[in-house]
Chain A
Amino acid sequence: MLTVASLNQYYGESHTLWDLDLEVPTGQCTCVMGRNGVGKTTLMKAIMGEVAVASGSILYDDEVELTRRRVEERSRLGIGYVPQGRQIFPLLTVEENLRTGLAARQDGLTRIPSRVYELFPVLEEMKHRRGGDLSGGQQQQLAIGRALVLEPRLLILDEPGEGIQPNIVAQIGEVIRRLIREDGLSVLLVEQKLPFARKYADRFVIMDRGRPRARGEIGELSDALIREHLTV
């Protein structure tokens, strides 16, 4: 679904991503892990075009070179993005926040797909409240709901469980699993919490200082690897 090859990225003069390779197979959930500040979020932003890359390629769907596409077009190709830190539109109502997801849909749908409300009933309840007034966890749910509105083929989730109550975290996991199974969705997940990753991801990639250090089937994620790369 997504193939990242020798990607380099800089913030000013600091080199953040180094010759990074990454593969997100279709219909699977790939989990990116790594300590704070290793560049996970930066990688997601690079895929979405929020930061410029210096070199390398990001191939989507085996044919579309994302680095040559404008930011706005990427979501139109069917990429849903749940950024770290929620990034909801604080002064738009919950419903309006969700409606922004309609912009990228190709089918011209003008109503929020009911599935979103089914998944996060609190969003329907608080439809008319402004996004910024929600509690942290509610905002996180809103951010995920908003990405689902565009019914993506590739879903990028940057620490989606952050700040969400346990039962809903589990529910999100289930939804991801269902979407993968039923709709053939591909997922790129950044997650620190091992139980969640182990339960819902198919593959993992561990990053350190802007480079992938280990990767494999989730079953291969051993304690030794964890100690080596995820401990301070």
Chain B
Amino acid sequence: MKIPPCLRRLLALCLLACLPLTAQAQEDDGQSLLASLDAASYAQMGGAIEAIVDSGDPRSRDWLEALLGGKLQRHKESGRFVVVLENRGRNWPVVDALTGEDLGEMSRRELDRIGINNSLRGQLQSVLAVLDLRVDDVGARREAARDLLGQVDEAMVAPLQDLLEAEGDAEVARLLAQGLAIHRLEQGQVAAVDVLAGSLNGEVRSALSSAARSDDPALAEAAEAALAGIDQKLRLNRGLETLYFGLSLGSVLVLAAIGLAITFGVMGVINMAHGELMMLGAYTTWAMQQLLPGQPGLALLLAIPAGFLVAALAGIAIERGVIQFLKGRPLETLLATFGVSLILQQLVRTVISPLNRTVVTPEWMSGSLMINEGLSLTLNRLYVLGFAMLVFAGLMLVMRRTRLGLEVRAVTQNRAMARAMGIRATRVDIMTFALGSGVAGLAGVALSQLTNVGPNLGQNYIIDSFMVVVFGGVGNLWGTLVAGLSLGVINQVLEPWAGAVLAKILVLVFIILFIQKRPRGLFPQKGRAAEG
């Protein structure tokens, strides 16, 4: 984005003046500085911000940050400037902007917010970022240097050059060099293209794209060539990225389906309330975050066992309350659990709210992991992918290595005989259903990081879950894993050229055709045994 001249001066100033601000200031100066912020137009506000920076007032940084957060406000009656500490609800705790004096709570009716818009916000962020170019932390410097790409102008060239020479970190240096090169490119210097060629950064690409449209044929041609090289690399990245998207979508499908692979695939219960069990897991995450305000990460971690437990308990209630009466009538479980799902949905609507709940993403799960400048993997999805694999492995272990695994299969294949062999079928039922439900709860915990936490959460996944389990071959956990991941990848590969809707249709058609070829799913039960 382009920065208006008034702010450019400011940026240069920041670079030269070696802020943070040091100076003497007076109470009434502050008042008038802030008063000028409360201006009619955003352009005038730019000037006011400049004045604040110029003033060197030690409180300026606090003011600017409050302004950035929309928390710098004016008491309507007294005209006093205050900083709002918490702006949710009707009455807000505030402190005096000038003195820091605690003013207790004020009604939002009494306050006037000093608003900013996007461009001012960008400018403020730049101001704050430029300051960071001088800090010791390399990460912060890289961040700042990356932010400066495309922002450099004539006034900043000299100081940046100095910084570049003094810079010890190669990455920061490279970024600064590119930042300068973009500026030179804008000036029409063909040589700058060389510095930029091969960079996958979006700003660089933007600059080259603009240059390629320039009137200077030499420049345009060079930029064009550099762009072609970049696009080449981007295509590769794009392929990898699509694969990642696919695996990530697939892992969500696997997570949603894996619990069903137990309750439906192994036990034969057509559990239409599976989605609602996921919903319970998601709401547990929300509840945990409500219980531990300010610690979303810890709450999320605690939500893993809690979500499992809540869903498992609900599962036990469903098993005891309904499913145990339907032994030998698996299809009727469809009817009853559908009823249960309606009840659970409405229960959430009535008891909690028909609206979605906010589940906060902890810091360490936000943003993305940068592989290179053209390829970043979003962290929340990366965690979910890993989590799905862990859950899968754990479940595999339980089903393969414990008595429960053997006993549940024996019970579902021949209940009477299993009991005659001394297997406590009822207990096995309860534990298995609890396990499947608990896993659904885990899926819910994970989904709370990706999508809505609301009463409809379950409905959105139930159809897909059944599809995945059946596609993989009922009763085969590996099948569920492979089916989920491959459907995810197929979907994401198709999406760019077919569009989201058509891609989904094509995936469904693919499933229909695939089942013609393999009428018992990806990993079918073969042979006499399967015919029973």
Contact pick for B424, options A72, A96, A131, CB 8 Å: A72
Query: Per-position contact with B for A130-144: 1 when CB-CB < 8 Å, else 0?
Result: 111100000000000
Q: Say yes or no: is A117 at the interface (Cβ < 8 Å to chain B).
A: no
Complex contact A104–B422 (CB within 8 A): yes
Given contacts A90-B529, A103-B407, contact A76 B413 (CB under 8 A): no
Among A7-15, A81-89, A196-204, the one that faces the other chain is A81-89
Query: For the complex, what is the distance from the CA of A133 to the CA of B420, rounded to whole Å?
Result: 22
Query: For the complex, what is the distance from the CA of A89 to the CA of B532, rounded to whole Å?
Result: 9
Given contacts A83-B417, A100-B410, contact A72 B422 (CB under 8 A): yes
Place the interface of chain B in its size category.
20 to 34
Q: Say yes or no: is B403 at the interface (Cβ < 8 Å to chain A).
A: yes
Query: For the complex, what is the distance from the CA of A131 to the CA of B527, rounded to whole Å?
Result: 11
Q: Say yes or no: is A65 at the interface (Cβ < 8 Å to chain B).
A: no
A-B contacts at CB below 8 angstroms, number: 83
Q: Nearest chain-B residue to A101 (Cβ)?
A: B421
* Set of chain A residues within 8 Å of B530, measured between Cβ atoms: 90-91, 132
Query: Which of A27-57 touch B at CB < 8 Å?
Result: 48-50
* Set of chain A residues within 8 Å of B410, measured between Cβ atoms: 89, 92, 96, 100
Query: For the complex, what is the distance from the CA of A89 to the CA of B419, rounded to whole Å?
Result: 12
Query: Per-position contact with A for B512-532: 1 when CB-CB < 8 Å, else 0?
Result: 000000000000010111111
* Set of chain A residues within 8 Å of B527, measured between Cβ atoms: 130, 132-133
* Set of chain A residues within 8 Å of B475, measured between Cβ atoms: 91
Given contacts A91-B475, A92-B406, contact A103 B422 (CB under 8 A): yes
For the complex formed, measure the closest distance between the CB of B530 and the CB atoms of chain A, giving whole angstroms: 7
Complex contact A48–B413 (CB within 8 A): no
Q: Say yes or no: is B138 at the interface (Cβ < 8 Å to chain A).
A: no
Query: For the complex, what is the distance from the CA of A150 to the CA of B406, rounded to whole Å?
Result: 16
Query: Which of B408-442 touch A at CB < 8 Å?
Result: 409-410, 413-414, 416-425
For the complex formed, measure the closest distance between the CB of B505 and the CB atoms of chain A, giving whole angstroms: 35
Query: Which of B193-239 touch A at CB < 8 Å?
Result: none
Contact pick for A132, options B419, B420, B532, CB 8 Å: B532
Given contacts A72-B425, A96-B406, contact A91 B418 (CB under 8 A): no
Query: For the complex, what is the distance from the CA of A128 to the CA of B172, rounded to whole Å?
Result: 61
Complex contact A103–B421 (CB within 8 A): yes
* Set of chain A residues within 8 Å of B416, measured between Cβ atoms: 50, 87
Query: For the complex, what is the distance from the CA of A71 to the CA of B529, rounded to whole Å?
Result: 26
Query: For the complex, what is the distance from the CA of A149 to the CA of B439, rounded to whole Å?
Result: 34
For the complex formed, measure the closest distance between the CB of A85 and the CB atoms of chain B, giving whole angstroms: 10
* Set of chain A residues within 8 Å of B529, measured between Cβ atoms: 90-91, 130-133
Query: For the complex, what is the distance from the CA of A131 to the CA of B421, rounded to whole Å?
Result: 16
Given contacts A72-B425, A146-B421, contact A92 B413 (CB under 8 A): yes
* Set of chain A residues within 8 Å of B417, measured between Cβ atoms: 83, 87-89
Query: For the complex, what is the distance from the CA of A87 to the CA of B413, rounded to whole Å?
Result: 10
Complex contact B406–A91 (CB within 8 A): no
* Set of chain A residues within 8 Å of B418, measured between Cβ atoms: 89, 100
Complex contact B420–A83 (CB within 8 A): yes
* Set of chain B residues within 8 Å of A87, measured between Cβ atoms: 414, 416-417
Complex contact B413–A91 (CB within 8 A): yes
Complex contact B419–A71 (CB within 8 A): yes
Query: For the complex, what is the distance from the CA of A75 to the CA of B409, rounded to whole Å?
Result: 19
Given contacts A100-B406, A133-B527, contact A75 B413 (CB under 8 A): no
* Set of chain A residues within 8 Å of B422, measured between Cβ atoms: 72-76, 103-104, 150
* Set of chain A residues within 8 Å of B419, measured between Cβ atoms: 49-50, 71-72
* Set of chain B residues within 8 Å of A89, measured between Cβ atoms: 409-410, 413-414, 417-418
Query: For the complex, what is the distance from the CA of A74 to the CA of B416, rounded to whole Å?
Result: 13
Query: Per-position contact with B for A94-126: 1 when CB-CB < 8 Å, else 0?
Result: 001001110110000000000000000000000
Query: For the complex, what is the distance from the CA of A99 to the CA of B403, rounded to whole Å?
Result: 9
Given contacts A81-B420, A83-B417, A99-B406, contact A91 B525 (CB under 8 A): yes
For the complex formed, measure the closest distance between the CB of B426 and the CB atoms of chain A, giving whole angstroms: 8
Q: Nearest chain-A residue to B423 (Cβ)?
A: A103
* Set of chain B residues within 8 Å of A132, measured between Cβ atoms: 527-532
Query: For the complex, what is the distance from the CA of A81 to the CA of B421, rounded to whole Å?
Result: 8
For the complex formed, measure the closest distance between the CB of B401 and the CB atoms of chain A, giving whole angstroms: 12
For the complex formed, measure the closest distance between the CB of B529 and the CB atoms of chain A, giving whole angstroms: 3
Given contacts A91-B529, A92-B406, A132-B532, contact A100 B413 (CB under 8 A): no
* Set of chain A residues within 8 Å of B414, measured between Cβ atoms: 87-89
Query: Per-position contact with A for B70-94: 1 when CB-CB < 8 Å, else 0?
Result: 0000000000000000000000000
* Set of chain A residues within 8 Å of B424, measured between Cβ atoms: 72
Query: Per-position contact with A for B466-487: 1 when CB-CB < 8 Å, else 0?
Result: 0000000001000000000000
For the complex formed, measure the closest distance between the CB of B528 and the CB atoms of chain A, giving whole angstroms: 5
Complex contact B528–A100 (CB within 8 A): no
Query: For the complex, what is the distance from the CA of A87 to the CA of B410, rounded to whole Å?
Result: 11
Query: For the complex, what is the distance from the CA of A104 to the CA of B423, rounded to whole Å?
Result: 7
For the complex formed, measure the closest distance between the CB of A26 and the CB atoms of chain B, giving whole angstroms: 21
For the complex formed, measure the closest distance between the CB of B28 and the CB atoms of chain A, giving whole angstroms: 85
Complex contact B525–A100 (CB within 8 A): no
* Set of chain B residues within 8 Å of A96, measured between Cβ atoms: 406, 409-410
* Set of chain A residues within 8 Å of B425, measured between Cβ atoms: 72
For the complex formed, measure the closest distance between the CB of B390 and the CB atoms of chain A, giving whole angstroms: 26
For the complex formed, measure the closest distance between the CB of B40 and the CB atoms of chain A, giving whole angstroms: 78
Given contacts A130-B529, A132-B529, A132-B532, contact A71 B407 (CB under 8 A): no
Complex contact A100–B407 (CB within 8 A): yes
What are 8 A-to-B residue pairs whose CB atoms are below 8 Å?
A50-B420, A81-B420, A87-B414, A90-B532, A91-B529, A100-B423, A103-B423, A146-B421
Chain A residues proximal to chain B, CB less than 8 Å: 48-50, 71-76, 81, 83, 87-92, 96, 99-101, 103-104, 130-133, 146, 150
Instruction: Supply 12 further A-B pairs (C-beta < 8 A) apart from A87-B416, A90-B532, A104-B422.
Output: A72-B424, A75-B422, A89-B414, A90-B529, A92-B406, A103-B407, A103-B423, A104-B421, A132-B527, A132-B530, A132-B531, A133-B528
Which 8 A-B pairs have CB atoms at the shortest separation, nearest pair first?
A132-B529, A104-B422, A75-B422, A130-B529, A71-B419, A87-B417, A90-B529, A89-B413
